[in-house]
Structure 1
């Protein structure tokens, strides 16, 4: 139980830090002369991270891209992903597949070739759990 609370606190802390970076970049760029917001279909960013007691691997999909430096940008968009998570259920109960394709949404901050990500994935309702959005955190690379 203590581990779950620690992970929840870590997820919240990561969200706060990433949002502060986003606001810093937005307010810093407001004094520039050029607008740097545009739509992006694919950025070449691959990310691995942790969400909902499992691992995910994704790439950035369609997004709104905000460039704040020659080698830095922030993306808000869709994240086509593969979630790797083993279900722990009672004997005789059906289990989900270990690898599950899913679609997430979230923020991705890219500085040069390093990407930091704050994704959210929806876990659907089951017979024992309500459907909820689960926050995650990830680190990746921009090709």
Structure 2
């Protein structure tokens, strides 16, 4: 029985000692209010420009992944049929989604809600964008 305990202690020390001497981990989960990121992309047959808003961020060395709100300007020309009125070319909107950063390069996967109209139901539109982290 003594031999089994010694083996367990030896195995534990083999795994424990190297981790004590290793450097601290650089991964962390944190809340962010604003990141200084500007993104341009495509969604719902139009373009958007946004910056990142409040988000939860997971950081690993020079890479981070954020999930949060995206205050945006959607740029889309409405297709007008007959004498119907159309929306403005530039519309402020709020989306949410994932934003991945590597050094200064940013890739974003946003989702925006398109409101119900007389010709279409309201639904979520996915997009993709590329940007820069200042």
Same fold, TM-score > 0.5, yes or no: yes
Pairwise CA distance, 1:94: 1.2
Distance 2:59 2:74 in 1: 29
Q: Is residue 107 of structure 2 the alignment partner of residue 119 of structure 1?
A: no
- For residues 63 and 111 of structure 1, what CA distance do their matches in structure 2 show? 17
Q: Among 32, 41, 44, which residue is 2:36 paired with?
A: 44
1:131 maps to which of 114, 118, 122: 122
Q: What TM-score does the superposition give when structure 2 sets the normalisation length?
A: 0.80
Q: Which residue of 1 aligns with 2:47?
A: 55
Which residue of structure 1 lines up, in the alignment, with residue 66 of structure 2?
75
**2:87 pairs with 1:96:** yes
* RMSD (CA atoms): 1.2
Q: Which has the larger radius of gyration?
A: 2
| Contact 2:69 2:96 (8 Å CA) reproduced | yes
The residue number in structure 1 matching 2:18 is: none
Distance 2:55 2:25 in 1: 23
Counterpart of 1:36 in 2: which secondary structure? strand
Q: Which moved more, 1:89-98 or 1:118-127?
A: 89-98
Equivalent residues of 2:40, 2:131 under 8 A apart: yes
Supply the distance in 1 between the matched residues of 2:86 and 2:80 (Cα, whole angstroms).
7
Quote the offset at 1:91 in angstroms: 2.0
How far is 1:35 from its partner? 5.3
Q: Secondary structure of 2:39's match?
A: strand
Which sections of structure 1, spanning at least 5 residues, go unmatched?
1-31
Name the CA distance, whole Å, in 1 between partners of 2:112 and 2:25. Answer: 36
Normalized per residue, which structure has more strand? 2
- How far does residue 49 in structure 1 lie from its aligned partner after superposition? 0.2
